[in-house]
A and B are shown apart, each in its own frame.
Chain A
Amino acid sequence: MAWTADQPLIALVDVHKSFGKTEVLKGITFSVAKGEVICVIGPSGSGKSTLLRCINALVPIDRGSIKVEGQEVNDPALDKLALRRKVGMVFQQYNLFPHKTALQNVMMAPIQVLKQDRKEVEERAHRLLRKVRLQDKASSYPGELSGGQQQRVAIARSLAMNPDVMLFDEVTAALDPETKKEVLVTIRELAEEGMTCLLVTHEMGFAREVAHRIHFTDGGRIIESGPPEEFFAKAKDPRTRQFLSQIL
């Protein structure tokens, strides 16, 4: 059964995950089509970040199925490295490599993991840094960059692997409003170019603007889903309404 582009790029079915006695995911089911931008929102501690980590096998799941391009992630024989080459991820705390410059951060994985030609990679890395508007920071170390700049380098670093889908884990949560904006603009450009994106976010305005579909999670379950207009205007579930009333 070969995967074709008309099938969901990511398909989660009844995903369960516990840490010790705490069940963080209690049966999550949704899918992401190619080119789609999906936002997952919900109160802190509702398992959103864990959900993203399950998709690229950073966290193993207990029950259920996650398929990325038709390949089962919940499979002991899974080639994790092959999966992670297709799935890019950006973290809340940027997690750039502090001993490498911005350019080196972007170049490292394509050279070492994909074994691509250094010259080619360097050219592409410069292009990616220009894309995130940091071409003049190529030789800066992460410690010399602001939070927003670091996060944009992290996005470029992830893009350098040419992933099929990007996972964003509350990437603006640690930023101040101004730097937040630079990062969100970058992500929106990506989305407009047709990159498949799955975002965990607290940026309601951004979600409303960019997302094709929004999932609201609470207590390890998806409570409500829908396209942004519908979701924000007429949420049905009382918990969703309460959450939105606190945030908006």
Chain B
Amino acid sequence: MRAPPNSTDLPVLLPMARPVRASEIGKVELGRAGLWAMLVVAAIGLIGEARAAPSDPGLLALLWKWAPLIFQGFLFNLLVSFLSMAIGTAAGAVLGLAQVSLLPQVRQASWFATQFFRNAPWLVLLFYCMFLLPFEIRLFDYVIPLPAWFKATIGLALPVMANMAEIVRGGVQSVPAAQLESAEALAFTRRQILWQIILPQCVTRMTPPWMNLYAILTMATPLISIVGVQESMSLTRAALNAEGRIELLVPMYLMLLVWFFLYCYPIARWTIRLERRFAVKI
């Protein structure tokens, strides 16, 4: 506590300390943590009170009614994101390694494939997969059905594959050439060098961009609603149609946005943390 220059040092004459200080600090912290939640609730509540006719059920009640169904759709989005990521990662790793192959044909072909899928709009790739892939595959006596959601998963896996390929290529090339040289001098084969020396060194470097790619993919999964796959986005639209209340539009989409935010934001934070940690390590 600093006294103004010409004042007395008698405690009685000092300005009174503000007793609310401590609780204010608490409020600030609480407010920061719950800012999003409060904003959402406030927005929904305000819109509901302002527009709902007295006899109709409140907007919050309607949201509550539809939330479980839409949340199931949201979980389906996550399932599609897992599958696309798994397929895209596996295919992208192969494609990325092909780009550092010793064979020029392999290198060129994989480079072309990577660039093609990396520079294509995701939605167009999605449409391509929906229309080009058959609805079932005949393998001898077996008929393997290809449902629309699976085709859409493949459609999303393609750009993931191309981006993953770039992550792998960049990771491999980020390992100093001297490592390769000293491994060669020790008579390691090229395969051993790749698996034992290069890849273990760049996996940590590839993890943050890979997580980033996953977050982007997750946020792109509602695209599959456009090609007719039922997920959170199409279910939200269906719920809105069923209720037929225009004022429900904003809060319902907002609810979906918040779910995506709550899922993707921690991934982004975690990615940044990992990036920082790996940056310090030699």
Whether A45 is near chain B, meaning CB under 8 Å from some CB there, is no
Query: Could you tell me the distance between the alpha carbons of A206 and B87 in the complex, rounded to whole angstroms?
Result: 58
A58 touches B181 (CB 8 A): yes
Convert A72-113 into 0s and 1s, putting 1 for each residue whose CB lies closer than 8 angstroms to a CB of B. Answer: 000000001110110111010101111100000000110011
List the A residue with the shortest CB-CB distance to B197: A97
B187 touches A81 (CB 8 A): yes
The main secondary structure of chain B at its interface with chain A is helix
Whether A48 is near chain B, meaning CB under 8 Å from some CB there, is no
Whether B228 is near chain A, meaning CB under 8 Å from some CB there, is no
A56 touches B189 (CB 8 A): no
Convert A102-141 into 0s and 1s, putting 1 for each residue whose CB lies closer than 8 angstroms to a CB of B. Answer: 0000001100110000000000000000000000000000
B195 to chain A, nearest CB (A): 10
A91 touches B196 (CB 8 A): no
List the A residue with the shortest CB-CB distance to B181: A58
B187 touches A95 (CB 8 A): no
Whether A157 is near chain B, meaning CB under 8 Å from some CB there, is yes
Convert A8-31 into 0s and 1s, putting 1 for each residue whose CB lies closer than 8 angstroms to a CB of B. Answer: 000000000000000000000000
B178 touches A91 (CB 8 A): yes
Whether B241 is near chain A, meaning CB under 8 Å from some CB there, is no
| CB neighbours of B182 from chain A (8 A) | 89, 91, 95-96, 154
| CB neighbours of B183 from chain A (8 A) | 97
A109 touches B181 (CB 8 A): no
Query: Could you tell me the distance between the alpha carbons of A234 and B224 in the complex, rounded to whole angstroms?
Result: 84
Whether A143 is near chain B, meaning CB under 8 Å from some CB there, is yes
A157 touches B184 (CB 8 A): no
A109 touches B178 (CB 8 A): no
Whether B101 is near chain A, meaning CB under 8 Å from some CB there, is no
- Which residues of A147-191 have CB atoms within 8 Å of chain B's CB atoms? 154, 157-158, 161
Whether B201 is near chain A, meaning CB under 8 Å from some CB there, is yes
A81 touches B189 (CB 8 A): yes
Query: Could you tell me the distance between the alpha carbons of A246 and B272 in the complex, rounded to whole angstroms?
Result: 52
A89 touches B201 (CB 8 A): no
Whether B179 is near chain A, meaning CB under 8 Å from some CB there, is yes
A58 touches B184 (CB 8 A): yes
A56 touches B196 (CB 8 A): no
B201 touches A84 (CB 8 A): no
Convert B175-194 into 0s and 1s, putting 1 for each residue whose CB lies closer than 8 angstroms to a CB of A. Answer: 00011011111111100100
List A residues at the B interface (Cβ < 8 Å): 56, 58, 80-82, 84-85, 87-89, 91, 93, 95-99, 108-109, 112-113, 143, 154, 157-158, 161
Q: Would you list the 8 A-B pairs with minimal beta carbon distance, nearest first?
A: A95-B182, A84-B187, A89-B185, A109-B186, A143-B282, A81-B187, A95-B178, A85-B187
